[in-house]
Structure 1
Amino acid sequence: MNETEFNLLDEPWIRVMDDNCQIKEVSLTDALLNAHKYKALKGEMPTQDIVILRLMLAIVHTVFSRVDADGNEAELEEEDDALDRWESLWNNRKIPEKPVREYLEKWHERFWLFHPERPFGQMAVLDTRDYDVQKLNGEILQSDNKKRVFSPYSGEAKHKMSFAQAARWLMALNGFTDMGTKKPNPKKPGWLADIGTLYVVGDNLFDTIMLNYVPLYPDGEFRKECPIWEKDTIVIVGNKLLPIPDNRSELYTALPRKVLLIKDVNCVRVFKVTAGDYFETENAFIEPMT
């Protein structure tokens, strides 16, 4: 992959529903800053929506653990600070634009879906076989060995995805995963499938984000939020049991699979995938969605 293309902060790829129940694709930046204008996330399946919500929450947790609603540097130190921060954001009735834009501009380079060194949510180099994207598409999940009798896709549509569609299913794969690619640990179906995911739904997307934004931690301590795009390097051993991350932004953006989308002309036809690492679920008190 030598070309840099399709930045998730700029390109429309997240499916949202507006007040007229119309579904459209928007960028990650748009989804955050205009969350108050959208009823909900509306991907092809709910498995996309929860993973994308957690991506948005990772940004909200990170930004507002460091600055206040006006963008002034103000790290959270006391419980009252966290409660006041949540209340100020809630009363604002929309995600503050200035601090979010400044943060996303700083990390813009880490959000390319296709990049020679840091493709978002993927490994830049992956030495494994190619799979047809029908195995990535959660509405089909068709392998080379089994054919779907009643498939919502047919013909050429089964064998290619737009960049936007591939981005959504990449996110879903990293959250729920295909157990068939996890050998020799086939019992690990992915973190979100493992924990039985629960979250609060509000009257609009902004409300949903805020009702799931939990700046407090069970032990009363505050953590340095570190989503995966802020890490200098990404190391995934494969089938290794790891301690659960100590901050929600890292947990929400962890990569439990080694995946690589192969870019074709304006579409994705094949991808690579193999086993990633996984977390122990016992005493995972940092996870609020279970």
Structure 2
Amino acid sequence: MITCEGESKSVGLCELFECSEELAAIAGRTPGETVAVVEFLLAVCFAAGEYPAGADEWRGWVEGRRHFAGVAEWLAGQADGDWDLFDPERPLGQNALLRGSFEESATGVAQLVIERTGDYLQFFDQHHLEDGESLSAAEAFRAVLTQHVYAPYGRGRISGKELGAAVTNLATGRLLGRIRVVALGATVGETLRLNLYPWQGERGRLNTSWTTGPVTRRGFGAKAVPRVPQGPADLHSALGRSILLRGRLDAERGAVVDRVLIGAGEVLELDPGRHMTDAVLHRTAAGLEKPLWPSPTRALWQDAHALYAAVKERQPGLYALLGSLKYKHDGTEVPYQLWAVGLIANKTLPVTWVEGCFPYAPGMAEHLYLASARGSRIAEFLAARLKRAALVASRTMHPAKVPADEAALAARYDARWRFWAEAGQPFYELLDTVADLGPRQSPVAAAGPVAAYAETLLEAAREQLAQRLESLPPNERGYQARSRAVNRFEDDLAADDAPAEIQELVVRD
């Protein structure tokens, strides 16, 4: 049911844990689906009792490459009914109590796929929910997992006559609205080891369905009262939606899902210190601290320094563990990757997945933080100066404009958006270079990788500005606007607030 890279095949859970060192990575259809699968695998490990008890044991697991055969053995001993996607009483990951409303309210499977439907009424591409082909059982299961952790709030298409009106009140998934960071290793096994944090106390039970296990589920006669997860197994497998699937046999594809019903699920009371061990605290413009969040206007790489700062400062959880690993380098190690994923939503409507993958070599947090912070500052400085140049060109061309029209008029000459699109790849290359250098070489040394990155970005900024100014008319005012805009930009490069790497380039030129 899980698709893995390495052998390019779909594998069952038992096989995945048995062969975790032979599989390169989980390969979901979307970043969010991949994260949801990793969440479920972590829940299985915790439920099986296969997790480190403390930081020292965690390091031993990572450095000793502990296998997961014990998890496969635990799975083999579980009751088959608990793992049946179409069991009539306890369907895997679902709520059988929705059965009484199914015939009246169920729709086509588009409702199950977050990226295809926002308000649970219609496809983004304007097709009705009843349109579309069925999903294979494996595809449907992964979509269920994604719904449980990322689904947005809103109103469900289910009637409340059977279970109560609150079944239509869909709450926000526990990972929506924040960046989830997963430490990636060279194999599935290494990825699991890196993310299985130490836990003291009850580990909780795996939520295989709404009607099994010791958890007292909410009702739907009133607004939900958030519950505290009973442990990591419970947390990572929490049923954030009530979902029920209808399956049938297809002559060519085997078991498929052709109808689905979605209602309100569990609402959790989360303690950031215990239940968000991967979260990076970031300060808002109002001065409040909250987990790093996805932005429609700011790429994740611009905040990569926040991830490295968390490791450098040994922020409790994932980052303190990563920071405790010792630097070893013989030319053969592949750095870990800090994979950051978020879902941008416009209220109830999912918009797009955002992601970024940042290298982390043990013992290199200080250098990677310095490089990413300087790199982000250089990019933001150049982008801000491109905006100023655009305003100068606009004000020269349109001296009698209405103030309210200034932004729209300046947008014609604003090179920032194309510049940002070009700035990302050099930034990732900068981090890869720094990760390979080792801790003895400073990334900000003269003629070092940050200086080379600054030169690449300055060249891109000048080129993009020139291209945007080409739209100016070939007359006296157009020539004047072009000259003033370019001079404004070049003068800004030598200003006192310019990054040192930029000032050095200007002096050299």
Q: How does 1:265-276 map to 2 (within 5 A)?
A: 265=249, 266-276=255-265
8 Å Cα contact 2:114/2:151 also seen in 1: no
Aligned partner of 2:217 in structure 1 is 235
Aligned partner of 2:31 in structure 1 is 46
Distance in 2 between residues matched to 1:194 and 1:244, nearest whole Å: 20
Alignment-mate amino acid for residue 251 of structure 1: L
Q: How does 1:22-61 map to 2 (within 5 A)?
A: 23-61=8-46
**Seq. identity, %:** 21
Aligned partner (choices 209, 220, 232) of residue 248 of structure 1: 232
Alpha-carbon offset, residue 85 of structure 1: 4.0
Please, what is the CA RMSD of the aligned residues? 2.9
Aligned partner of 2:148 in structure 1 is 174
Q: How does 1:95-106 map to 2 (within 5 A)?
A: 95-97=67-69, 99-106=70-77
Is it true that 1:285 corresponds to 2:264 in the alignment? no
8 Å Cα contact 1:134/1:143 also seen in 2: no
Distance change (3 Å), C-alpha of 1:84 and 1:163: same
Aligned partner (choices 95, 107, 112) of residue 131 of structure 1: 107
8 Å Cα contact 2:110/2:123 also seen in 1: no
Alpha-carbon offset, residue 47 of structure 1: 1.2
Aligned partner (choices 99, 117, 131) of residue 89 of structure 2: 117
Aligned partner of 1:73 in structure 2 is none
Is it true that 1:163 corresponds to 2:151 in the alignment? no
Distance in 2 between residues matched to 1:108 and 1:87, nearest whole Å: 33
Stretches of structure 1 lacking an aligned partner (at least 5 in a row): 1-12, 67-75
Alignment-mate amino acid for residue 33 of structure 2: Q
User: What TM-score, normalized to structure 2?
Assistant: 0.45
Aligned partner of 1:17 in structure 2 is 5
Distance in 2 between residues matched to 1:264 and 1:234, nearest whole Å: 31
Stretches of structure 2 lacking an aligned partner (at least 5 in a row): 157-165, 250-254, 280-509
Alpha-carbon offset, residue 169 of structure 1: 0.5
8 Å Cα contact 1:65/1:215 also seen in 2: no
Alpha-carbon offset, residue 196 of structure 1: 3.1
**1:46-100 Cα deviation digits (max 9, x unpaired):** 111111111111122233358xxxxxxxxx8xxxx53454345334535232x22
Aligned partner of 1:202 in structure 2 is 185
Alpha-carbon offset, residue 178 of structure 1: 4.5
Tell me the number of residue pairs that the alignment of Structure 1 and Structure 2 aligns. 252
Distance in 1 between residues matched to 2:265 and 2:34, nearest whole Å: 22
Distance in 1 between residues matched to 2:235 and 2:190, nearest whole Å: 22
Q: Structure with the greater relative contact order (CA < 8 A, sep ≥ 6): 1 or 2? A: 1
SS at match of 1:16: strand
Q: After the TM superposition, which segments of 4 or more aligned residues of structure 1 sit over 6 Å from their partners?
A: none
Distance change (3 Å), C-alpha of 1:225 and 1:87: farther
Alpha-carbon offset, residue 274 of structure 1: 0.6
Q: Which has the higher helix share?
A: 2
